[in-house]
């Protein structure tokens, strides 16, 4: 059996599966073709506009004010140099940062790669 024949030999098992979503066409038994790679990529990309820095800062402020974020020890911010969103997990009792995503090192690397002014050594600052 070849790989090509495996793909064509399998049959669809939609009849013995319960519908996952509340889609009426799925519940009614209407077969729906699976999404193609192009459909999936377009759905992920979407047509949404890129938010402005003010909109991101406002969203971060609202997240930090939420009770759920506070109770779980989450702190959201925007790095001033790279303009990337940063999430910190903070120990409630000691106020120590347990984890930061992206890490401070990753932010430094991003900052170094984005700055075009330094032509010598993008990541290493030592000389031989």
Question: pLDDT tens for residues 78-91?
Answer: 998 888 999 999 99
* % of the chain residues with pLDDT over 90: 28
Q: Is residue 78 part of a domain?
A: yes
Q: Is residue 81 part of a domain?
A: yes
Taking phi first (over 0 means left), then psi (-120 to 50 degrees means alpha), and beta for anything else, what does residue 51 get? beta
Q: Is residue 124 part of a domain?
A: no
Is it the case that residue 107 has pLDDT exceeding 60? Answer: yes
Mean pLDDT over each residue of the chain, to the nearest integer: 75
Enter the pTM of the model: 0.52
Shared domain for 58 and 110, answered yes or no, is yes
State the residue range of the domain holding 21.
Answer: 3-45
Picking from 98, 57, 63, 97, the residue whose alpha carbon sits closest to that of residue 80 is: 57
The pLDDT, as a whole number, for residue 96 is 94
Q: Is residue 59 part of a domain?
A: yes
Q: Is residue 119 part of a domain?
A: no
Shared domain for 107 and 58, answered yes or no, is yes
Shared domain for 40 and 90, answered yes or no, is no
Task: Please compute the mean of the pLDDT values over residues 62-87 and round it to a whole number.
Answer: 90
Q: Is residue 125 part of a domain?
A: no
How many domains, in total, are found in the chain? 2
């Amino acid at each position: 059996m070849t790989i090509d024949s495996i793909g064509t030999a399998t049959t669809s098992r939609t009849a013995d599966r319960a519908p996952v979503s509340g889609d009426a066409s799925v519940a009614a038994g209407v077969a729906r073709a699976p999404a193609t790679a192009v459909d999936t990529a377009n759905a992920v990309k979407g047509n949404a506009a890129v938010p402005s820095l003010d909109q991101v800062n406002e969203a971060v402020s609202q997240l930090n004010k939420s009770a759920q974020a506070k109770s779980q020890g989450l702190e959201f911010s925007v790095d001033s140099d790279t303009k990337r969103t940063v999430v910190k997990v903070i120990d409630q009792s000691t106020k120590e940062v347990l984890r930061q995503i992206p890490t401070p090192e990753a932010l430094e690397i991003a900052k170094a790669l984005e700055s075009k002014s330094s032509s010598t050594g993008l990541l290493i600052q030592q000389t031989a």
